[in-house]
Amino acid sequence: MDAAQQEATARARELQRSWYGEPLGALFRRLIDDLGLNQARLAAVLGLSAPMLSQLMSGQRAKIGNPAVVQRVQALQELAGLVADGSVSAAEATDRMDEIKKSQGGSVLTSTSQTTNSSGAPTVRRVVREIQSLLRSVAAAGDIIDAADSLAPTHPELAEFLRVYGAGRTSDAVSHYESHQN
């Protein structure tokens, strides 16, 4: 890849970060891992061609043009959270993915339903994802790490929070939270 292509890819990933909260390659890889999918299955559930998914993941293309696909991504993120916290079995997740695949989507401005546990409280994974989304909507991971480094001498707890919840993986942040609840 030449310098111009690298620059275009970096620009596309930055646009993805500003539009979707993170580069789509990271988001899609997490969905693949969390839901036990391969790229072809993810593309099928989202309603994208495999080449289009690959272009979005690699940063060759910045934007998901179809709002229904964006809503399917959001639905898969919620489903991945339910699978991770044990609320949904693998078999049930497969059925739900088939439903998501068939969904036509609506307004992308409607809020998604809150994922809750049996007591009605939001799950840890859902809260962590909301925190990450908020932090990533205002700063890139590198900027969050820089802020954490600046805060570390005077506010080590806040610096750790920013590193784990702002720039880290969701699964690592959930583990961090759970380890500090004992």
| Per-residue pLDDT tens over the stretch 115-144 | 555 555 567 777 887 787 777 767 777 888
Q: Looking at residue 135, what is its pLDDT? A: 78
pTM: 0.58
pLDDT band at 55 (very low <50, low <70, confident <90, very high): very high
Q: Looking at residue 117, what is its pLDDT? A: 57
CA pair distance 5, 26, nearest whole angstrom = 19
The kind and range of the H/E element at 83 are helix 67-84
CA pair distance 116, 125, nearest whole angstrom = 10
Q: Looking at residue 103, what is its pLDDT? A: 82
Give 128's contacts (C-beta < 8 A, 6+ positions apart). Answer: 165, 170, 173, 174, 177
Residue 64 has pLDDT above 60, yes or no: yes
Q: Is 167:145 a contact under the CB 8 Å cutoff?
A: yes
Q: Is 113:78 a contact under the CB 8 Å cutoff?
A: yes
Residue of 15 and 119 predicted with greater confidence: 15
Structure tokens at 146: 């820089």
Q: Is 129:140 a contact under the CB 8 Å cutoff?
A: no
What is residue 48's three-state secondary structure?
coil
Q: Looking at residue 113, what is its pLDDT? A: 45
Q: CA-CA distances (angstroms) from residue 156 to 83, 124, 159, 182?
A: 33, 23, 5, 20
Residue of 68 and 44 predicted with greater confidence: 44
What is the chain's mean pLDDT, rounded?
84
Q: Looking at residue 7, what is its pLDDT? A: 93
Structure tokens at 153: 């001498």
Structure tokens at 57: 């993941």
Across residues 40-47, what is the average pLDDT? 95
pLDDT band at 32 (very low <50, low <70, confident <90, very high): very high
In the block, residue with structure tokens 């954490």:
148
